[in-house]
Every structure is written in structure tokens, then in C-alpha cells.
Amino acid sequence: MDLAEEVFILREKGSGTREIMEEEMGRAGVPLRNAMELGSTEAIKQAVAANLGISIVSIHSVTQEALLGRLCVVRVSDLDLHRRIYMVSLRDMPPSPAAEGFRRFLFERRAKEAARDSKGRSPAASREGRRARVR
């Protein structure tokens, strides 16, 4: 798959996902030609499902669609598409039991992802087994 020839479906300007995508594609010398801009991940998934183009979204947002075979997940090995997400809380207030449970969940999930990433594959990408290279 030659990414330079694909129609990209992008998030709106200012979106963290779009910023990372533009940054990494620019670094790799891949122009984002013929781009369509949509305001939500769900709209992007619908456009991709309608064969209007391709996009880069969080694996977490397409896991169900990949499992159902509705969307194809392709791991792009030449791009660093990670973004940081931060958990914030009030400084002088202990977290509620729900907030503490959520914090534990996030740390446990991150540990599982780190173990999986050290093997180099996400579950959806493993099932698909396809990779794209930037040309």
C-alpha cells in the first residue's frame, strides 16, 4: 500500500490525532492530498466503511469494527503515531473510590499494552496481519 496515493479522512484542525498524523506523515514525506475533514471519530469510521478513503485513528476506537470485520486494521510500521494522554485530579482532594478504581484500571491497562507492544503487535493488527509501509 502506497500511502502517498491514498485519500485521507482527517479530523478537524486542532485535533490531537490530526496533529500527530500531519506531523508524522510530513516527517515521512507523505503528502496528505485529497483529504476529507470530519468532526468525529465515528464520522471517520463511517466514511472509511463507505470506502471514501483511509484514516488513522486510535486502535481503541476501532476494536469492535475490526473484530466484526467491518474495518481492516493495518499497522503502519514506519510512523510513530503515539500520543500522550494525561489523567488529572484535584491536588488537595483524595480521589473518590470510582476515580481510584479508574486510575487502577488505566495503570493496569497501560501495563498490558506495554507488554503487548514489546511484542510489536496489537490484537486487531495481529488478527489482520497486514502492514503498510510509507513510500
96 located within any domain:
no
21: domain CATH number is 3.40.190.10
Number of independent structural domains in the chain:
1
- In this prediction, residue 114 carries a pLDDT of 84
Q: Are 99 and 38 in contact (CB under 8 A)?
A: no
Please list the rounded mean pLDDT of every run of 10 residues in the chain (135 residues).
83 87 87 85 94 89 91 82 79 91 90 80 43 40
53 located within any domain:
yes
- In this prediction, residue 30 carries a pLDDT of 84
DSSP 8-state symbol, 88: -
- List the domain range (segments joined by +) for residue 71: 3-83+121-132
CA dihedral 87, 16, 54, 77 (to 10 degrees): -70
20 located within any domain:
yes
Helix residue ranges per DSSP H, the chain: 16-27, 41-49, 59-67, 97-118, 123-128
- In this prediction, residue 1 carries a pLDDT of 64
69 located within any domain:
yes
56 located within any domain:
yes
- In this prediction, residue 3 carries a pLDDT of 76
